[in-house]
């Protein structure tokens, strides 16, 4: 419907112009998330600059944009309220160290375990979150200091400018690609508002409403080196470690899922472990420069990709321009109408949401459709990390349930009169109950063979099930033979270890998931 994610060519011009577009869109987002975390707006803006710059240089995914994010801000707020902003800086420092360790130990590869339905739910959920976040721009502060929805001409002007922005972004690429359509839309709408002196809220109005300070501004100096002013002792560690662990997990999950999404869009491949180190280095730097930390931002990343930003230059440009705005051009940025930035983000929502998932619902298994809806809903209600974990767990349980039903035996009497149970399918915790019901101990002959050539013993629950089966046949006075079990299986069996027929040439070699082998 909307050709938002196009195959824009990579070039230095595209990267620089795309970086400018992203930098403009970063300002209200960083300010908003700073207010969510209840810290000064500059703490959020500095985070957007530091995280954006370092991840663009050292991260594992060129073209991906990182900065201060809402997913982290909602976790930070309780720490700030209870212990103060200095503890936040110490937490961000520890968070970065944990992320660097995740990269060093190559934990980024585990992002491959996230199923595709969870990815779809993640994308759809974040698109909804981005959309809902933009609705706050349609509120204004009344005389009593309460945010109220816009009314009358103010609302009509806002809606009209948003629609104009979206129209420019959609139709301009059909005429020319000389300038990113999002940047052109911001410049045109800003020119219209200033030229016709329209009563439209701008970035400065938003900043004043959110802070309650008539003198609010995004202007500031260069971030200064600052060791967090906290007692560096065990008590402090006990306070900050749980927050740091949660923030590190949320940051890496959001970053690596965004990396995977951009990989699919650009048909290239990023380095997940390098991205972990890059994110960690950025957050360590934030911790010692008085910034709130951050991670990858799917909305700004989509703006960048759509505008032609493919290399590290686009992210570096966005970060340096953002710092330039803070140092030298705060007044110009504060003049940008909120409607232009809202329109850009609405187009991001339209391009990010997987509209094809509605068509897929009728063609994919009901369990996958349920996971898509579940992850989307949990992302909106709670946060991304919980949603992904829930989605992976549900997908794993569905997988286990489906494979638990696939275990069966082919039974026959061999030339020596022994009954052979030829087992097919994986034997693991989910299938052990069905496994036990496959055997007729009471009516079987005195000599029984269980053939594991076409099966795989996966975990310790399977070992216990084999031991229990052997015990039943032993108590019935019958002889049981276990063929083609691995040597590890034999080591783990307690009651049936002597029943395994060892064949050095034919017996399989694989590891069973059990702590006993460790």
In the chain, where are the structural domains located?
Answer: 12-375, 405-517
Q: Mind listing the pLDDT tens digit for each residue in 9-38?
A: 557 899 999 999 999 989 888 888 888 888
Compute the average pLDDT of residues 233-251. 94
CA 398, 256, 22 angle in degrees (round to 5)? 130
Q: Mind listing the pLDDT tens digit for each residue in 168-201?
A: 999 998 998 888 889 999 999 999 999 999 999 9
Assigned CATH topology for domain 405-517: Transcription Regulator spoIIAA (3.30.750)
Cα pseudo-dihedral 186, 188, 193, 195, rounded to 10:
150
Q: Are 66 and 296 in contact (CB under 8 A)?
A: yes
**Cα–Cα distance for residue pair 469/457, rounded to 1 Å:** 14
Is 312's pLDDT higher than 60? yes
Q: Is the pTM of this model over 0.85?
A: no
Cα torsion 23, 100, 76, 89: sign: negative
Question: Which of 8, 128, 144 has its CA nearest to residue 63?
Answer: 8
- For the chain, percent of residues with pLDDT exceeding 70: 97
């Amino acid at each position: 419907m909307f050709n938002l994610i196009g195959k824009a060519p990579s070039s230095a011009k595209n990267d620089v112009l795309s970086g400018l577009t992203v930098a403009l869109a970063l300002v209200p987002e960083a300010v908003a998330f700073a207010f969510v975390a209840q810290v000064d707006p500059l703490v959020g803006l500095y985070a957007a600059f530091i995280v954006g710059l370092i991840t663009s240089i050292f991260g594992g995914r060129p073209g991906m944009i990182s900065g201060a994010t809402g997913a982290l801000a909602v976790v930070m707020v309780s720490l700030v309220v209870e212990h103060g902003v200095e503890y936040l800086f110490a937490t961000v420092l520890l968070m970065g160290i944990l992320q660097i360790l995740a990269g060093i130990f190559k934990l980024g590869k585990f992002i491959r375990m996230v199923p595709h339905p969870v990815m779809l739910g993640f994308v759809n959920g974040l698109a909804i979150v981005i959309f809902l976040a933009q609705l706050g721009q349609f509120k204004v502060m009344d005389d009593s200091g309460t945010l109220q929805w816009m009314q009358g001409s103010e609302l009509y002007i806002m809606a009209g400018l948003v629609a104009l922005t979206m129209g420019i972004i959609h139709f301009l690429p059909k005429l020319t690609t000389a300038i990113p359509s999002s940047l052109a839309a911001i410049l045109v709408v800003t020119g219209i508002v200033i030229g016709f002196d329209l009563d439209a809220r701008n970035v400065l109005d938003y900043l004043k409403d959110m802070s309650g300070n008539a003198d609010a501004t995004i202007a500031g100096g260069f971030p200064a080196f600052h060791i967090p002013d906290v007692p560096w002792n065990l008590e402090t560690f006990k306070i900050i470690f749980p927050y740091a662990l949660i923030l590190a997990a949320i940051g890496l999950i959001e970053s690596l899922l965004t990396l995977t999404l951009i990989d699919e869009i650009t048909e290239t491949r990023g380095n997940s472990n390098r991205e972990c180190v890059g994110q960690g280095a950025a957050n360590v730097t934030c911790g010692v420069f008085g910034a709130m930390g951050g991670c990858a931002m799917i909305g700004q990343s989509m703006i960048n990709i759509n505008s032609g930003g493919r290399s590290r230059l686009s992210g570096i440009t966005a970060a340096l321009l953002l710092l330039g705005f803070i140092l030298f051009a705060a007044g110009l940025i504060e003049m940008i109408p909120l409607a232009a930035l809202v329109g850009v983000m609405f187009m991001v929502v339209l391009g990010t949401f997987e509209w094809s998932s509605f068509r897929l619902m009728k063609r994919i298994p009901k369990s996958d459709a349920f996971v898509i809806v579940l992850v989307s809903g949990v992302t909106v209600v709670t946060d991304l990390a919980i949603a992904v974990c829930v989605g992976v767990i549900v997908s794993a349980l569905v997988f286990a349930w489906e494979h638990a039903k696939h275990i069966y035996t082919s039974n026959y009497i061999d030339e020596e009169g022994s009954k052979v149970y030829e087992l097919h399918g994986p034997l693991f915790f989910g299938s052990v109950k069905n496994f036990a019901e496959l055997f007729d101990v009471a009516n079987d002959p005195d000599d029984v063979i269980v053939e594991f050539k076409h099966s795989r013993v996966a975990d310790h629950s399977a070992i216990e099930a084999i031991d229990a089966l052997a015990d039943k046949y032993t108590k019935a006075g019958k002889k049981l033979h276990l063929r083609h079990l691995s040597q590890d299986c034999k080591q783990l069996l307690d009651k049936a270890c002597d029943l395994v027929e060892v064949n050095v040439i034919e017996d399989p070699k694989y590891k069973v998931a059990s702590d006993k082998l460790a």
